[in-house]
Structure 1
């Protein structure tokens, strides 16, 4: 078979030669009668169908310099087209024509009729344009070609063609070429500058071909590559025809193109974009498309709705169209464990929070389960960056009683308390146009206010936020300034520390000082505090706010705020402590003990048991005053008839946990002797507290609270002892009041040494072989044991060397001194180890055991005081208290209790000593209870004293 004959058009060189010739000589030329085509037409057709579509064809075409003659052909074709005056309305401005490169010959008049057998010049022109534009559009899919087309000035001819030739196919290919060029930021800016946008909008509304519309829509989408270009497109009316076209229910391909373009145009949604989309009837179709079976259409429609929420003026219409339910459903789906990533949830979270700014949308959101969804976000640590935005959104429900009740039931209060001192999120601030549309903007000649000032002022006055119109400056904005101060509670006393008062706001220009109202400081914690304040105004806020978690959040904010804390937080605490309904909750939750520990003593939960290094603050004095004021508020409630009944009921009829909590709290809030004596001493409250020390702790700070409570009670029992400041240095603390008299003369020394002044008539033999001299008469009169041993019928009565079994020399030394009449000669200090060493198994324990075995109670007492002087004195620390208690001596246990209850002890050292004491006691609460009762009741315990349980 003969090989197929090659056509000249199969050669790229031939095609380029024809292009170059046409660029230099014009679009005419002889026509081949056999094919009824011009050589240029054959070359363009071959370029489009074979050369450009081949692998690497675009690169070869560009490398051979094909773009320059191709653009020249387009310029000549554009110049040969119809005059701009025939293009109809919406044509590009005259600057487009003047900007075209090179002079353009005047187009001739179009023929009135076209022969069916021979294509007329306009028909040939359209075919040439179709082919050339198709080739250019394909070439512009490559980045280097796009850059060269821009360098060769190819954008102006395309805009001119778009203006002059209104054929759908030409418009389609021109829009496709411009859309491809717009993928380069530099080319995109040139297309905007050339005035292509109005022409594209005109083509969108004029053409009926779906493919042409898709190309135009794609070009507009690619032209929306930056915020500036998106705003320019919106201001030129691009969005409304897109919305109208979407509302006309186009074919699926065009629908996808439209939603993709609207998604780009709505990023950082401007007011013009939102207005046009709403006026074009696009909201309803977008809500419908949110359930489209095709994922790309569905997700684009949902994101457009989310973007529109940034404009307050369309949010009510969005709610009416059903966008609230759509966005909530999609966010709920994406938050599912098998849903999308956290990054994809961000625009939906932002949109749902913005929808909370209008009352109509809040009602829809509440009915659609939005409150539960927002609470789930607040509970999710992975969503911590969105927490400030969610809390600010919940402020919209401030006066929705039903929603507040639901939020409280869902656990909002502890989450708000945790937000007070949390890390700030990374959410951007909303602009003025995102303000609530419940107060629409008023366009005044001077400026546009952020919200209706007249309506907002009326609402603030009606709600009690402002006393009159003069209290609110026209410069006040609900989005940029804090809300005005809430009305003070009638139960809230005035706060003493001046540094905690509300700061004065800066006076706007032109306003007198008398007309300026003080403003609340409004930091990132402002929304959470506002909601907490609203909860605290309920008749009985105890169930939500008087809990350990909520109080810890408030106190952490008050004591940890970088500057002065918000007066709203102080008012919340004052309101709670002044509310009689909260008294029992403060008792049950150990709230009063927490107030005293954190504010008065300066010990936060994080400081226990390991002390954190904190910088010294000048506000510590103010914190102490605040704590004392709040405790005084509770004292007023506790000593009222209602409070006495409530506390009595808790102590006598409450659960075991409530009874212990009541006994611990009473010393902090009761100052009437008749009340605390009856409840704590006569009715067993103190014993309940002491017995609870060795049981599982009901609160992490229970032992710290208990040590402080017992110390306060000791101060009530013995008011003559003035307490020392809780911040006193441990080095300045007084020692345990033991025998500190100077040593008395030693009566045993004359028997010692190589030449004793008094002759011994007896020696005691120790297990170690050591012989200790003694006098029989003195030893026999010191103890009934030695009287029977040395002067009775035992064999030892006739022995000069009497063995003493089970005694080391160090333990025997104080025994021998005591037998010979030494009292207070410091011999008892010998066997006592220094602080930090164990007492159990030491020679001190051995000496105490020997004193008991030899019936020497005086020596026992002297040894016990020696142990106390060394281990419970200024050199001993809290850890020594447990060591001393482990010896099991009632008098030493009383010394340990006295050390803990001492008024000058540092609260933290006192609590650490109690911890050691409880660990030493183990499960046996009896000795510990007896020791504290003995000290508080003033009962002196002997070595085996009577029990106080009777």
Structure 2
């Protein structure tokens, strides 16, 4: 069958010619009897249904210049509209016609009101022509090049004029669709705003009922909200309330989806006008209902709108009443679940939940819905570290909710807060004034109109120290905005270090000194410190705050802050150390030892064993540490403290007993108390026995070395055994050597005996001198042994270096320097050396004075003031009691560096191993001073 012959309407040239003719000559024309259509109508229909929809059809239409006559046709059609203006019936006023022809933008302030039901529609042919032309233009505006061309040709003004003058559903629908497509580009969007299209589109929302038309208008408004400035302009021109009212009217699903998408766009960076209109339009309840919509896009859009609305304090109470708190919590919980979404999608919900904590009514709902657990989960999550400051600030809202604080403490908030003080979490995002708590609306009310509840609140704030006079308090006050001293904080029991005290604000004339407020820094750590201070005011805060993690966080902030720390943290520490209920916790957790190590000695857990650079404020920290320890001393020496410490030492668990024995030298200054507990009741021996057991604290050996040194100072406050001298022995005047004359070519007197070593070396000797020097040699050389008759006596198991000091000693040499010969230099091992061999020989040959001289030589070389702590363990491994005492004395010496002392004790414990008896006795003797009568290396 032959193909049908194409008609003239199939030609793009024919269609363009008809457009040009209609644009230049008018909209008239005779109908074609065969088709009952005018040529212009056929051309427009062909363009819309065939040419524009074909592949590349829009580009060809634009390239052939079709947009210019199309826009001219739209202007003629708008000018030919006989529809009346908003004033009543009749033909269009001349101003509208001239606007269509000349093109000036209509004023945004002259938007027509709702169209009267008696307004007649434009003629059918004109309406059909406009419908087709607007449909073609809207389709063309889906491509960027056409949008730019339409904007250049002034098409936006023409569309706004049609929107103003043609009040029919179909024309409004297609005009709004064309404007919506044009608004997809920022330049066109700005021109549409400037042309005054927004009031006309807003009017259409209430003037028409057709769903398709409303969807196009809603979409146009959504696309016009492309920037914060445009969103604010839309809200200020009343675009949000009719959208909310339409949503509340339960429209069809397609319109509902369009409304949710538009409101989501308009609520980004939610302005006050947007929040007010959405609330007044009754949109909160429908939005909460839509969060359970079966369609995911609608459901998630409604949730994000609610999250955006939380940025405005004025709407948050109503949002909570509508059920928004539970919805947002549930969605955040779902997204944080195992099958949840990425952290980026959780961010707006985290922000919304934190903002909801600013009103008391929403805090109650959040607490009952499990929000506290959810916020604590965020604080524990390292992936949410960027939100931690925001979460902590939100928890400040629960500052006076005793039940919530108890729950937060049970969930482990305190150590998390302490960790926040010096953490690397991101800074909290600044919120605008409009996000402030709505519990105290921001409008300042005259004094005579203030409610009694606010007057009562004002009086309480002044009495508790939040403000100095009534003029300082406005109704928008909230705890998170007030960096003053928290209520109920007592003054520090002892003066704070002057270098750590923050300056006061200048006194205002007319104020008494007692009511002058003290300004405090309110940095990133401010909310955490305020909560920690609130916890510290409990009758017994020991279970939460006097723990290792909490104390480490507080001390890390004090010593690591780039500037002076907040006075609030100093008050927290003073309050804890002055509370009798916290004494046992400070003992059990090694808190007192930690205060001394970190603040007084400058050694933090991170500094051990390798040191780390810290800000140079050591004198300030030392003053603070001594003040805090003095507070603990006052508690320990009170009748309650004596009973508590006695109970811990005698009846506590093994761990508690060791901790008590270690802590006592730091906090007890009464001799009767520490002597009874540490000496009479065995606390010292208990501590020494625990040295070789598994360490109960990472700094245990450091604490123990410091504790033993402090106790030694208590036992011997006026002095202690001197350290080994700084002058090397080889520089001292040597004693005369009595053995050397036997070694020359003409010895005087002549030797009558020679000792034979394993190496074959012959060493000359005097029989009488050797026999009188030692019971061993007396029996060997003068008794019934065969050696008494021999001139060459073998000495087995003795090297020449080890035999050298023995021979010198046998012939009366004391201090001639021979004992230094077998001692290896510093840094070389002593075990297996010739010094150990000489010591063993001195013991075997019953030469105690030689043993002491050799030990003195070992101590002089390996335990001198210039020696390092690693030498102490090396000397102790020789296993000799006198050397063990020397090691203990070097370790606990009064002038010893705390770090070296602790490292030396570590070496001693490692050298002792499981055989700790020698170490225990040596340390006990040094601490108690019972070895002071023993010979000390000169």
What TM-score do you get using the length of structure 1 for normalisation? 0.92
| CA offsets 1:236-292 (integer angstroms, 9 cap, x no match) | 011000001100001111100001100001100000000000000000011111111
1:435–1:451 CA contact under 8 A, matched in 2: no
Counterparts in 2 of 1:615 and 1:38: CA distance versus 1, 3 Å: same
1:93–1:195 CA contact under 8 A, matched in 2: no
Provide the rounded CA distance (Å) in 2 between the counterparts of 1:739 and 1:949: 14
Provide the rounded CA distance (Å) in 2 between the counterparts of 1:592 and 1:107: 74
Runs of 4+ in 1 over 6 A off after TM superposition: 87-99, 103-121, 444-456, 473-479, 506-515, 729-734, 736-741, 944-950
| CA offsets 1:398-431 (integer angstroms, 9 cap, x no match) | 0000000000000000000000011242542000
Kindly state the Cα deviation for residue 803 of structure 1 after the two structures are TM-superposed: 1.2
| CA offsets 1:271-319 (integer angstroms, 9 cap, x no match) | 0000000000000011111111111111000000000000000111011
Kindly state the Cα deviation for residue 492 of structure 1 after the two structures are TM-superposed: 3.1
Kindly state the Cα deviation for residue 456 of structure 1 after the two structures are TM-superposed: 6.3
What TM-score do you get using the length of structure 2 for normalisation? 0.93
Kindly state the Cα deviation for residue 790 of structure 1 after the two structures are TM-superposed: 1.1
Kindly state the Cα deviation for residue 503 of structure 1 after the two structures are TM-superposed: 2.3
Counterparts in 2 of 1:510 and 1:276: CA distance versus 1, 3 Å: farther
Counterparts in 2 of 1:294 and 1:138: CA distance versus 1, 3 Å: same
Counterparts in 2 of 1:445 and 1:665: CA distance versus 1, 3 Å: closer
| CA offsets 1:573-620 (integer angstroms, 9 cap, x no match) | 00000000000000000000000000000111100001113353476x
Kindly state the Cα deviation for residue 668 of structure 1 after the two structures are TM-superposed: 0.1
SS at match of 2:123: helix
Provide the rounded CA distance (Å) in 2 between the counterparts of 1:170 and 1:429: 46
Please say which of residues 26-35 and 444-453 is displaced more in the overlay: 444-453
2:734–2:816 CA contact under 8 A, matched in 1: yes
Provide the rounded CA distance (Å) in 2 between the counterparts of 1:94 and 1:663: 103
Residue in structure 1 matching 2:774, options 766, 776, 783: 783
Provide the rounded CA distance (Å) in 1 between the counterparts of 2:462 and 2:399: 16
| CA offsets 1:211-259 (integer angstroms, 9 cap, x no match) | 1001100000000010000000000011000001100001111100001
1:327–1:348 CA contact under 8 A, matched in 2: yes
Counterparts in 2 of 1:477 and 1:370: CA distance versus 1, 3 Å: closer
1:887 match: 878
Provide the rounded CA distance (Å) in 1 between the counterparts of 2:45 and 2:842: 123
Kindly state the Cα deviation for residue 395 of structure 1 after the two structures are TM-superposed: 0.4
Provide the rounded CA distance (Å) in 2 between the counterparts of 1:816 and 1:418: 67
Counterparts in 2 of 1:214 and 1:732: CA distance versus 1, 3 Å: farther
Provide the rounded CA distance (Å) in 2 between the counterparts of 1:552 and 1:575: 16
Provide the rounded CA distance (Å) in 1 between the counterparts of 2:125 and 2:259: 33
1:680 lines up with 2:678 in the alignment: yes
2:701 match: 703
Unaligned runs of 5+ in 1: 721-728
Kindly state the Cα deviation for residue 102 of structure 1 after the two structures are TM-superposed: 5.3
SS at match of 2:480: coil
Counterparts in 2 of 1:681 and 1:486: CA distance versus 1, 3 Å: closer
SS at match of 2:416: helix
1:734–1:904 CA contact under 8 A, matched in 2: no
| CA offsets 1:160-186 (integer angstroms, 9 cap, x no match) | 000000100000000001011100001
Kindly state the Cα deviation for residue 115 of structure 1 after the two structures are TM-superposed: 23
Provide the rounded CA distance (Å) in 1 between the counterparts of 2:255 and 2:90: 23
2:651 match: 653
Counterparts in 2 of 1:136 and 1:462: CA distance versus 1, 3 Å: farther
1:201–1:238 CA contact under 8 A, matched in 2: yes
Kindly state the Cα deviation for residue 457 of structure 1 after the two structures are TM-superposed: 3.5
Kindly state the Cα deviation for residue 496 of structure 1 after the two structures are TM-superposed: 3.2
| CA offsets 1:727-771 (integer angstroms, 9 cap, x no match) | xx9999975999996432111111123333332111111111222
Counterparts in 2 of 1:473 and 1:402: CA distance versus 1, 3 Å: closer
2:108–2:196 CA contact under 8 A, matched in 1: no
1:557–1:565 CA contact under 8 A, matched in 2: yes
Kindly state the Cα deviation for residue 935 of structure 1 after the two structures are TM-superposed: 1.5
1:440–1:452 CA contact under 8 A, matched in 2: no
Counterparts in 2 of 1:278 and 1:116: CA distance versus 1, 3 Å: closer
Give 1:467-616 correspondences, 5 Å limit: 468-469=469-470, 482=483, 486=489, 492-505=492-505, 517-616=517-616
Counterparts in 2 of 1:638 and 1:872: CA distance versus 1, 3 Å: same
| CA offsets 1:385-405 (integer angstroms, 9 cap, x no match) | 000000000000000000000
Please say which of residues 69-78 and 443-452 is displaced more in the overlay: 443-452
SS at match of 2:763: strand
Counterparts in 2 of 1:584 and 1:510: CA distance versus 1, 3 Å: closer
Counterparts in 2 of 1:203 and 1:20: CA distance versus 1, 3 Å: same
Counterparts in 2 of 1:50 and 1:363: CA distance versus 1, 3 Å: same
| CA offsets 1:454-492 (integer angstroms, 9 cap, x no match) | 78644523655345436669998866662x8955xxx73
Give 1:847-886 correspondences, 5 Å limit: 847-886=838-877
Kindly state the Cα deviation for residue 2 of structure 1 after the two structures are TM-superposed: 2.7
Kindly state the Cα deviation for residue 36 of structure 1 after the two structures are TM-superposed: 1.8
| CA offsets 1:518-577 (integer angstroms, 9 cap, x no match) | 212111100000000000000000000000000000000011111111110000000000
Kindly state the Cα deviation for residue 449 of structure 1 after the two structures are TM-superposed: 15
Counterparts in 2 of 1:291 and 1:92: CA distance versus 1, 3 Å: farther
Counterparts in 2 of 1:113 and 1:98: CA distance versus 1, 3 Å: closer
Counterparts in 2 of 1:96 and 1:194: CA distance versus 1, 3 Å: farther
1:829–1:866 CA contact under 8 A, matched in 2: yes
Kindly state the Cα deviation for residue 209 of structure 1 after the two structures are TM-superposed: 0.3
1:896 match: 887
2:83–2:90 CA contact under 8 A, matched in 1: no
1:182–1:191 CA contact under 8 A, matched in 2: yes
1:310–1:433 CA contact under 8 A, matched in 2: yes
Unaligned runs of 5+ in 2: none
Provide the rounded CA distance (Å) in 2 between the counterparts of 1:568 and 1:106: 59
1:851–1:859 CA contact under 8 A, matched in 2: yes
Provide the rounded CA distance (Å) in 2 between the counterparts of 1:108 and 1:854: 119
Superposition RMSD on alpha carbons, in Å? 4.5
Counterparts in 2 of 1:734 and 1:15: CA distance versus 1, 3 Å: farther
1:660–1:689 CA contact under 8 A, matched in 2: yes
Counterparts in 2 of 1:108 and 1:810: CA distance versus 1, 3 Å: closer
1:947 match: 935
2:23–2:70 CA contact under 8 A, matched in 1: yes
1:19–1:40 CA contact under 8 A, matched in 2: yes
Provide the rounded CA distance (Å) in 1 between the counterparts of 2:715 and 2:109: 117
SS at match of 2:764: strand
SS at match of 1:225: coil
Kindly state the Cα deviation for residue 504 of structure 1 after the two structures are TM-superposed: 2.4
1:547–1:591 CA contact under 8 A, matched in 2: yes
Provide the rounded CA distance (Å) in 2 between the counterparts of 1:141 and 1:587: 76
Counterparts in 2 of 1:947 and 1:836: CA distance versus 1, 3 Å: closer
Provide the rounded CA distance (Å) in 1 between the counterparts of 2:833 and 2:83: 117
Kindly state the Cα deviation for residue 495 of structure 1 after the two structures are TM-superposed: 3.1
Provide the rounded CA distance (Å) in 1 between the counterparts of 2:91 and 2:898: 86
1:471–1:517 CA contact under 8 A, matched in 2: no
Provide the rounded CA distance (Å) in 2 between the counterparts of 1:90 and 1:236: 29
Kindly state the Cα deviation for residue 93 of structure 1 after the two structures are TM-superposed: 14
Provide the rounded CA distance (Å) in 2 between the counterparts of 1:371 and 1:569: 25
Counterparts in 2 of 1:705 and 1:451: CA distance versus 1, 3 Å: farther
SS at match of 1:773: strand
Kindly state the Cα deviation for residue 848 of structure 1 after the two structures are TM-superposed: 0.4
Counterparts in 2 of 1:887 and 1:82: CA distance versus 1, 3 Å: farther
Please say which of residues 32-41 and 239-248 is displaced more in the overlay: 32-41
Kindly state the Cα deviation for residue 791 of structure 1 after the two structures are TM-superposed: 1.3
2:156–2:192 CA contact under 8 A, matched in 1: yes
2:462–2:469 CA contact under 8 A, matched in 1: yes
SS at match of 2:508: coil
1:310–1:351 CA contact under 8 A, matched in 2: yes
Kindly state the Cα deviation for residue 58 of structure 1 after the two structures are TM-superposed: 1.1
1:692 lines up with 2:690 in the alignment: yes
| CA offsets 1:103-162 (integer angstroms, 9 cap, x no match) | 999999999999999999821111111001101111111111111111111100000000
